[in-house]
Amino acid sequence: MTEHSSRIKFGSKFGIVAAAAGSAVGLGNIWKFPYEAGQNGGGAFLLIYILCVLLFGLPIMVSELVIGRRAHANVSGAFRQLSGTNHWAMVGLLGVITAFLILGFYFVVAGWSLEYVYQAVANAFERKTPMQLSQAFSDFSTDTFRPLFWTTIFICCTAFVLLAGVKKGIERTSKILMPFLIFILILLCVRSVTMPNGNEGLKFFFAPDFSKITPTVILSALGQAFFSLSLGMGCMITYGSYIRKDNNLTKTALHVTSVDTLIAILAGTAIFPAVFSLGINPAQGPKLVFVTLPSVFSHMPGGYICAILFFLLLAIAALTSTISLQEVITAYVSEEFHWQRKKVIVVSSLVLIVLSSLCSLSLGIGSHYTIGGKTLFDFFDFTTSKFLMPLGGFLISIFIGWFYKADEVKDELGNHGKLPVKLFSVYIFLMRFFVPLAILLIFLNELGTFS
């Protein structure tokens, strides 16, 4: 059998969008985006973020889907096949390493979301002040065993879905639950916006203060766009390889990008008004969501049920993302080294239990072991978002813009002449010049070249 006919494909059109959106929507939207916005000037960050999504995110997502579907292979295989050389296959290896590092800290936060489901069921948020909630979060996240327990459970859930196979597992899970998450977020927004002083938060999040735009803000927004859209490490290449030949890739990328951005904005709208109303510090970092939203729930009718549903859906959104990340590793090892998928999933899960445990411990008893002044958790987060993913995006833009033939790209986007390809010249211009140059400038600036 040829590789083409033996690879599993996603089923329906909505299934493809749901699976890719399931990968994109996750802790990045609800946990990371709000705290990054809180630390990087609110409205200024939102503005730069949206620009990054349009100018980098969208064209790179289209490119990744094209590469994946054209080659019908894992990240490395795809680059090798399309370039005809082995050098480009290294990009795939880079993607796999990135996947391990992201999963290392992502599983920890996903574990936190499970703890919060448990606390919501136990009604633990009731009548607690933001101060107490903040203390409770710190006590929990720096504890030695409790976070490890939840993280391990989460890793097992991911392995379980992956073992069930691509189509049945990923597609079905994403399809049912995404609309639900949006619904609860909208309820939260309504409650948060109507809290006393809520409009201060709206102003903070939506009105850009241009003086707050700094190189750090730009790099953070760029990294966040890659992280949130699952770009720059081959995730969308892998998913692209499961997409059917008749799918309109440009539309799929547009839908996924819109849903992902909408959810991030909804999360910000649910959080910042409450942050200002309750006098919480918007720049406190990773605990922001875990302190703010429980407060909102305890101020809202039906808050008990909503809190349970919300954290459950957050965990599920995280699950559809961890599946996509670990699928990159699984497809790579099983196709490149001819291991059975099952074996790859079991072995990689064991490695990830170790990595995530180290990340979790680095917040508590291991916090004095640092790399460049950062805990392991922060180090993994920092290197992936601020370095490895933009680097991956840079290499993809060089590949599409300069190595691969534009005609071939156009042919794949147009389903071999069956669809009109609109704005192709804008897309190619972005990939050839804007994306690589802009990423290079941002990197050079970070290295202090211009100061």
Of 96 and 202, the one with the shorter C-beta distance to ligand TRP is: 96
**Least distance CB 318 / ligand TRP (angstroms):** 7
Contacts of 46 (CB under 8 A, 6+ apart): 37, 205, 206, 208, 265, 268
23 binds ligand TRP (CB under 6 A): yes
**Least distance CB 302 / ligand TRP (angstroms):** 27
173 binds ligand TRP (CB under 6 A): no
CA distance 173 to 19: 8
Binding region for ligand TRP (CB under 6 A) out of 83-91, 174-182, 230-238, 268-276: 230-238
Sign of dihedral through CA atoms 354, 355, 356, 362? positive
3-state DSSP call for residue 373?
coil
Q: Which residue has the tokens 């809180």?
A: 38
CA distance 169 to 290: 29
Structure tokens at 443: 């990197």
**Least distance CB 121 / ligand TRP (angstroms):** 24
Number of residues that bind ligand TRP (CB under 6 A): 16
Binding region for ligand TRP (CB under 6 A) out of 238-246, 319-327, 363-371, 395-403: 319-327
**247, 324, 330, 362: which one binds ligand TRP (CB under 6 A):** 324
**10, 15, 20, 28: which one binds ligand TRP (CB under 6 A):** 28
Structure tokens at 398: 């060089």
Say which DSSP state 371 is in: B
Binding mask 383-402 for ligand TRP (x = CB under 6 A): ------x-------------
CA distance 212 to 216: 10
| Pick from 145, 175, 146, 156: nearest CA to 107 | 156
**39, 76, 151, 228: which one binds ligand TRP (CB under 6 A):** 228
102 binds ligand TRP (CB under 6 A): yes
Backbone angles phi, psi at 392, to 5 degrees: -60, -45
* Distance, CA of 201 to chain centre: 24
Q: Cβ-closest residue to ligand TRP? A: 28
Q: Work out the number of other CB atoms within 10 angstroms of the CB of residue 3.
A: 13
CA distance 45 to 28: 15
Q: What Cα–Cα distance (Å) separates residue 57 from each residue in 51, 230, 234, 283, 397?
A: 9, 9, 13, 25, 11
Q: What Cα–Cα distance (Å) separates residue 146 from each residue in 239, 323, 445?
A: 34, 23, 41
Binding region for ligand TRP (CB under 6 A) out of 9-17, 21-29, 300-308, 346-354: 21-29
235 binds ligand TRP (CB under 6 A): yes
Of 253 and 278, the one with the shorter C-beta distance to ligand TRP is: 253
**Least distance CB 130 / ligand TRP (angstroms):** 25
Of 300 and 316, the one with the shorter C-beta distance to ligand TRP is: 316
325 binds ligand TRP (CB under 6 A): yes
Q: What residues from 351 to 390 belong to the interface with ligand TRP (CB under 6 A)?
A: 389
CA distance 99 to 158: 14
* Distance, CA of 335 to chain centre: 24
Q: Are 330 and 139 in contact (CB under 8 A)?
A: no
**16, 47, 89, 233: which one binds ligand TRP (CB under 6 A):** 233
**29, 158, 298, 326: which one binds ligand TRP (CB under 6 A):** 29
Of 101 and 280, the one with the shorter C-beta distance to ligand TRP is: 101
**Least distance CB 289 / ligand TRP (angstroms):** 13
**Least distance CB 301 / ligand TRP (angstroms):** 30
**119, 152, 158, 230: which one binds ligand TRP (CB under 6 A):** 230
Which stretches of the chain bind ligand TRP, using CB under 6 A? 23-24, 26-29, 102, 227-228, 230, 233, 235, 321, 324-325, 389
